[in-house]
Amino acid sequence: MSRLTTLTLTSHRGRDYPVELFSPDTGFTDTGAVYLYLKLPEGRSRQVQVFYVGETCALDAQLAEDRRPGGPWERAEALGFDAIGGLALARPEDRAMIAAEFIHSWRPPCNDGHGALAGLAGLAAPAPFRVKRAMVGK
């Protein structure tokens, strides 16, 4: 489990959002966030495929719920997602607004969109996100 990098995703409105990327096996705290299941760019590409966008007040608990059979995790996994993107936000109204903007921008297939549109990505500074520490030797 690890933090991979931080990318700046540009929405259809031209707004830039720093989204921190993690491997799917990362354990999170119950932080409020907008989160994405996505496929990282390959080679020199700057395109990220967005398969699902969600928002929650408790990220760790929500990811566990998403793993239920037939849930968004399973559907995104079938499409080849390899990273979880997170944008930590405390205010529910901010999470709802940004999640809606992301869904409108990329129409993720696991949000019942028409396809996984690519999002433009660029490197950014790390965002403040907390992950659970792994238990060593257990």
Amino acid at position 65, single letter: E
Q: Give the pLDDT score at 120.
A: 43
Q: Give the pLDDT score at 136.
A: 44
Structural domain span for residue 56:
3-123
In whole angstroms, what separates CA 34 from the centre of its chain?
A: 7
Tell me whether residue 129 is in a domain.
Answer: no
Task: For residue 107, count CB atoms less than 10 angstroms from its CB and return exposed for 0-12, middle for 13-18, buried for 19 or more.
Answer: middle
User: Tens place of pLDDT for every residue, the chain, 138 residues?
Assistant: 477 788 888 888 889 999 999 999 999 999 999 999 999 877 766 678 999 999 999 999 999 999 999 999 999 999 999 999 999 999 999 999 999 999 999 899 999 865 544 444 443 433 444 444 444 444
Tell me whether residue 24 is in a domain.
Answer: yes
Q: How many domains does the chain have?
A: 1
CA 60, CA 8: separation in Å to the nearest integer?
Answer: 23
